[in-house]
Structure 1
Amino acid sequence: MSTLEQPVADVGGVDHALIASRARGWGWWFVAEHRIRAMRSYVASWIAISVGSPFLFLLGLGLGLGLLVDANQGAQGVDGVPYLVFIAPALSMATAMQTAAQENTYGVFGGFKWFPMFFAMNGTPISAAHIVVGFQVSVLVRVLLPLVAFSLVMVVFGIGSPLGALLLLPIGLLLAAAVGFAVMAWVSTQTEDRGQLSFVERFVVVPLTLFSGTYFPLETLPAFLHWIGWISPLWHAAELGRGALYGAELAPVMVLVHVGYLVLLAGLTCWLSIRTFRRRLDK
């Protein structure tokens, strides 16, 4: 049998049917691997920022603002602990939120508009769901490094318990997934860049960081602003982080509320993202 007469699956010795079958089952990993390999082009700056930021944040706030707060609060501190211990888990979570939001803003928009790799992927057995999940997996890999750096800095400086610092990793990744899918669900509906993409950082990430009990307990805000924290995924993650790191008082039902809110937000916005991706890619 000549080469031209061979089944397509056997041309060039490549089993295309097998490759297609793997893509249908593991397409999300192929997408994630593609994105992770692309990160190698800026791995040096990525590592420098991810490792340097936690040290500078905790050192600056702990030895700067923290000294003033502790001097005024006395032995009571904030939430019964020194200010640095209070803000450490929230800063870790805020970094995870910011990183996930950034990666899902221009990365998702660019995948449709500037370098339309999503359309190329959709021309293979890789589905829209694979693209959405795989992209988010690569974002979680990007988020993991600063989370690890924060945890290591906490362990080195004796901030909270080592086990609590380790537990910040899954909490931060859950937060990153919830925020990442939420940003992706909105960005994937945008077809033109008229400056609105910067709104995510200016009008979502920054306000949530300021009004989610990151730098001070949510209860110290006026009552009419408490709702911002209640709907903020950062507040839910920060509360879980404080409970894990230094044993902040947290009722079991509130643990379920915090975890359930983040899981529900991630699941709902993941579904919305897949729905939008399918609609755009099938045009």
Structure 2
Amino acid sequence: MTEQAALTGTAAPGAPRRAHSPAVSAARARRWGAFYYAEQVLRVMKGYGWTIVMYGVGQPVAYLFAMGVGLATLVDTRGAAGFGGVSYLAFIAPALLISAAVMAAANEFTFPVMDGFKWRRVYYGPHASPLTPEQIAAGQIIAVTVRFLLQSAIYFAVVALFGASPSGWGWLSVPVATLAGLSFGLPLMAYAASIKNDKGQFAMVMRFIVMPLFLFSGTFFPLETLPLGVRWVGWISPIWHGTELGRMATYGYQEPPAVTAVHLLFLVALAVAGWILTKRQFAKRMGS
């Protein structure tokens, strides 16, 4: 085997296949370690794939049917003027899609991170290899991002079947939901990586952060119809910013371009800040 083949891990045609040398394996891990760890996380997720589908898709679909089909029969009788000229079903569908991604982020970036550092300490095995803490964190994020994309795509297909996405650009709500999930999840991941002992912090996050964001982010009614005392929750909520973008995609909701830019910048800024904090916290926690 030539020196180039040894470094790349390829062999000449017809040559017997052999295990990579430690040097080649280490070089590959340093280059592709994040994807290797993402593969491991995805294989673990596969073991409870039906749970992910039922929670990530089944629950919001139940909301969609109850609110969009049940309650909508009452709401739509008063006219669609209050919902951008569309049916109530079309109005809430993108909000539920975004909310599903954010709630999935609240699950994937809390207890699994705690598990990696404290309970089963699954991060430390890969860290004993050439994988860096940043690669381990990135691998988990890549795997969860794949979950967001698949979950959101399936849910959007259901939305389309309900006729709740009249625009041809509705598919853009899938990457928007993924971005919203990351913008909420990455700062939460950094926080989870800083926790040494579980004292109910994640339950508090679900009750006093996730649930208020879900209720007061213009999910079921336009944000401007809410009292000023709770309207500010929507302004700082990834769910609201993502929902506004999702409504633009699914049924052509109109708003000034500058406001659209603010929505995108807000979500991207949260995700980037969360990634920076996560990298630092993982490196600090693993001692490198």
How do 1:157-236 and structure 2 match up within 5 A? 157-161=162-166, 163-236=168-241
**CA-CA distance at 1:282 after TM superposition:** 0.6
Match of 1:23 in 2: 29
**CA-CA distance at 1:47 after TM superposition:** 2.8
| 2:56/2:100 contact within 8 Å kept | no
Match of 2:75 in 1: 69
Give the Cα separation in 2 of the matches to 1:153 and 1:100. Answer: 21
User: Structure 2 vs 1, CA of residues 222 and 44 (structure 1 numbering), >3 Å: closer, same or farther?
Assistant: closer
Give the Cα separation in 1 of the matches to 2:237 and 2:162. Answer: 29
Match for 1:198: what amino acid? Answer: A
Match for 1:62: what amino acid? Answer: G
| 1:175/1:234 contact within 8 Å kept | yes
Give the Cα separation in 2 of the matches to 1:237 and 1:93. Answer: 6
Provide the identity percentage.
Answer: 40
**CA-CA distance at 1:165 after TM superposition:** 2.6
Secondary structure in 2 aligned to 1:249?
Answer: coil
Match for 1:269: what amino acid? Answer: G
Match of 1:259 in 2: 264
Match of 1:141 in 2: 146
**CA-CA distance at 1:195 after TM superposition:** 1.4
Under a length normalisation based on structure 1, what TM-score does the superposition of the two structures give?
Answer: 0.91
Give the Cα separation in 1 of the matches to 2:136 and 2:117. Answer: 12
User: Which consecutive aligned stretches of 4+ in structure 1 deviate over 6 angstroms post-superposition?
Assistant: none
Match of 1:93 in 2: 98
Aligned residues: 272
Moved more, 49-58 or 153-162: 49-58
Say if 2:66 is the partner of 1:60.
yes
**Structure 1: segments with no counterpart, 5+ residues:** 1-11
| 1:51/1:145 contact within 8 Å kept | no
Under a length normalisation based on structure 2, what TM-score does the superposition of the two structures give?
Answer: 0.89
| 1:50/1:145 contact within 8 Å kept | no
Give the Cα separation in 2 of the matches to 1:212 and 1:48. Answer: 24
How do 1:266-277 and structure 2 match up within 5 A? 266-277=271-282
Give the Cα separation in 1 of the matches to 2:19 and 2:224. Answer: 66
Say if 2:41 is the partner of 1:35.
yes
Say if 2:58 is the partner of 1:14.
no
| 2:137/2:279 contact within 8 Å kept | yes
